[in-house]
Chain A
Amino acid sequence: MKKEDRLEQRHPIEDLLRMDRIPHIWCPGCGIGTVVTSFAEALRKSEVDLDKIAVISGIGCTGRVAGYVKLDSIHTTHGRAVPVATGLKLANPELKVVVFSGDGDIAGIGGNHFIHAARRNMDIMIICVNNFNYAMTGGQVAATTPRDANASTAPYGNFEYPFSLPYLAEASGATYVARWTALHLRRVTKSMQEALGKRGFSFIEVITPCVTLYARRNRLGDGLNLLKYYYEKSEIQHGADTRTLDISYQGKLIVGKFVDIEKPTFLDCMNEHLGKVLGDKYQPYGVNND
């Protein structure tokens, strides 16, 4: 390749990536990069002010997203991305705060924060990459591992019931809930666009293959095959009852947008309630920034 040709080769989303940190740490065949691409595409299409977007991640493979996006971003501790996002959003309500993290981070160690942020209808957006295991630490069983799947700490297969994350999100109070697989690129992008424009707690689960650990341990083939497998095993059911979305080992995956409702956010409720009770004594918070 001639030097001039190389100079012309630009990564299609390089404006939104910290190119000085690429190559990333994710394995070949991992789905996280695809989800990041969808996110970048959603940001571009939504024409949001990139100065007002913050990405907060926890720990784990997906937790590394915060370090690769060229936006204000915090790589926090394990499970605490959601409360850090809560603090940030309340400190400056004009921000769109996006939590980008994995299933272990959000639903395992951070599960309590997740349900409470949803309960309060905190105006934050959560992108949860679900690869069915703790990948960064070597493929341990997770709160999302399907029953019978093998994991390094469930070497005889998992016998625990997993969480169904859309069900958990809706039951806790989320106003937007969707699930896709990483190969549903356009649909993931569209859901992210919708969530970026949404006021309220929004949750998007993206099922991705963990090729190095979950797939290898369970002999599920390479990343591309598994990506296709998840895609083919999925069935779009918009508005499906979230109680019916359990994921079984290599079974059917019901995907789609399940919840999209309007509800006052934490700050709406705070301002409305305190304004009503305290009258002129109350100093409304963050309302000029909306």
Chain B
Amino acid sequence: MKTDPKGVLTGSHYLDGDYALAEGALAAGCRFFAGYPITPSTETAERFSERIPSVGGVFIQMEDELASISALIGAVWGGQKVMTVTSGPGFSLMMENIGLACMLETPLVIANVQRGGPSTGLPTLTGQQDMMQVKWGSHGDYKIIAFSPDSPQECFDLTIEAFNLSETYRVPTFVMTDECVGHMHEKVVIPPAEEIELVERKWYTGPKDKYLPFKPDKDMIPFMVKIGEGYHFHITGLTHDEQGYPVINAECQDVLVRHLNDKITMNADKIIRTEEEKIDNAEVIVISYGITSRVTTKAVRKAREAGIKVGTIRLITVWPFPEKRIKELAKKVKAFVVPEINYGQMVLEVERCAAGQAPAVHVPHCGGWVHDPDDIFKAIKEAAK
């Protein structure tokens, strides 16, 4: 379906990543934003609060991030498309109800403009340290979808994409950007509304008394309805059956947990997006994402000038992870090099997928700034030996 043109600011703009997140949400038809101020993500909330009154919708600044994510869940079941934005400490607070959103198969979008941690850490300086938290942070077994934009333009584009996948799979979807991209000003081209393709929520249309909020359809995804339309349905964060009723036993848990995970795992090939460059004949492959992929460019250029055959993979979706592709490439390369602004997160996934076929060399940066390209270059040179 086409988007509502009211939210689309068609044209060429000079925007920072945070603003682009808000514009992406508006272009995707998001008309409800509940948030709490936190550096370096606050500008997204500010932009949304400024823009929404003339578009038609709600911005509400909640009392904390626990409330922000809770309000999103309520609003989705009231029929809205919703978003919030946060950074590390707020992301930690949201974990409780990210779990509820997964459990209730509630489509919503959360952007995390990452900063250095742990704890209050580096409020104004960059990090990529929540990459595992986004996957594992709430208790229990579940799966989510996460993107990592490397530019303000991608903040816009991938937010729309995040809304679409979130609706397609009825799952919380994340835009894992960082302070650098969030505060970086670049050209952002917003297309005309008629060029923005949206995925409509999977509305149920059958008889009211037959609605089952968690009965998987053929594509594994259950249908949704809105509260207030006479379905008189119930949903709970407890382990539940297809009807949404709590069933506290191991059998029901098995069906439910498998479903929550499998609906993403079995569609992973459709979800995963990467950008590959010069992979054929590469001795070393650098895997990076977000701001680090831009820093990597310089290191790779230098390595190629030095005669090393380097390929690159940029993760556009970080979760689900391109497991099959890494497994396949592990047989062909000498090593993977994984620079990221943390002390070893996505590299663990590369290592797991490479399964001993090729080493995964981590180039850590503990946060606060981007890598020195030379550090990545040295790692590539070492790995190519």
Chain A residues within 8 Å of B, Cβ to Cβ? 18, 20-21, 50-52, 54, 56, 66-67, 70-77, 79-80, 83-92, 94-95, 112-113, 116, 266, 270, 274, 278, 281-283, 285
Contact between chains at A87 and B73 (CB < 8 Å): yes
Contact between chains at B66 and A80 (CB < 8 Å): yes
Q: How far is the CA of A87 from the CA of B63 in the complex (A)?
A: 13
- Of the candidates A72, A80, A83, the one whose C-beta lies within 8 Å of that of B227 is A72
- Of the candidates B34, B63, B229, B236, the one whose C-beta lies within 8 Å of that of A74 is B236
Taking each of A21, A56, A91, A113, which has the highest tally of chain B beta carbons within 10 Å of its own beta carbon? A91
Q: How far is the CA of A170 from the CA of B235 in the complex (A)?
A: 31
Residues of chain B with a CB closer than 8 A to A91's CB: 32, 58, 74-80
Contact between chains at A90 and B100 (CB < 8 Å): no
Q: Does B140 contact A (CB under 8 A)?
A: no
Other than the given A83-B34, A88-B77, A91-B74, 15 more pairs (CB < 8 A) read: A56-B74, A75-B234, A75-B246, A76-B73, A83-B62, A86-B74, A87-B70, A87-B73, A87-B75, A91-B79, A92-B78, A112-B67, A278-B54, A283-B54, A283-B55
Interface 1/0s, chain B 32-72, versus A by CB < 8 A? 10100000000000000000011111101011101110111
Residues of chain A with a CB closer than 8 A to B104's CB: 74
Q: Does B186 contact A (CB under 8 A)?
A: no
Contact between chains at A80 and B232 (CB < 8 Å): no
Q: How far is the CA of A89 from the CA of B78 in the complex (A)?
A: 8
- Of the candidates B62, B96, B228, the one whose C-beta lies within 8 Å of that of A51 is B228
Contact between chains at B100 and A77 (CB < 8 Å): yes
Chain A residue at smallest Cβ distance from B64: A112
Q: Does B151 contact A (CB under 8 A)?
A: no
Interface 1/0s, chain B 101-113, versus A by CB < 8 A? 0001000000000
Q: Does B343 contact A (CB under 8 A)?
A: no
Contact between chains at A74 and B235 (CB < 8 Å): yes
Q: Does B255 contact A (CB under 8 A)?
A: no
Contact between chains at B53 and A281 (CB < 8 Å): yes
Q: How far is the CA of A76 from the CA of B234 in the complex (A)?
A: 11
Contact between chains at A70 and B232 (CB < 8 Å): yes
Residues of chain A with a CB closer than 8 A to B226's CB: 92
Contact between chains at A67 and B78 (CB < 8 Å): no
Q: How far is the CA of A278 from the CA of B51 in the complex (A)?
A: 11
Q: How far is the CA of A217 from the CA of B236 in the complex (A)?
A: 31
Q: Does B307 contact A (CB under 8 A)?
A: no
Contact between chains at B228 and A83 (CB < 8 Å): no
Return 6 A-B CB contacts under 8 Å, by A number: A51-B230, A74-B234, A90-B32, A90-B60, A91-B74, A113-B63
- Of the candidates A18, A72, A77, the one whose C-beta lies within 8 Å of that of B228 is A72
Residues of chain B with a CB closer than 8 A to A75's CB: 234-238, 246
Interface 1/0s, chain B 1-25, versus A by CB < 8 A? 0000010000000000000000000
Within 8 A of A (CB), among B113-146: none
Residues of chain A with a CB closer than 8 A to B245's CB: 18, 20-21, 67
Contact between chains at B70 and A80 (CB < 8 Å): yes
Contact between chains at B234 and A73 (CB < 8 Å): yes
- Of the candidates B57, B62, B78, B99, the one whose C-beta lies within 8 Å of that of A88 is B78
CB distance from A125 to the nearest CB of B (A): 15
Q: Does B148 contact A (CB under 8 A)?
A: no
Q: How far is the CA of A51 from the CA of B226 in the complex (A)?
A: 11
Contact between chains at A92 and B56 (CB < 8 Å): no
Q: Does B231 contact A (CB under 8 A)?
A: yes
CB distance from A29 to the nearest CB of B (A): 23
CB distance from B156 to the nearest CB of A (A): 22
Residues of chain A with a CB closer than 8 A to B60's CB: 86, 90, 266
Q: How far is the CA of A91 from the CA of B34 in the complex (A)?
A: 11
Q: Does B87 contact A (CB under 8 A)?
A: no
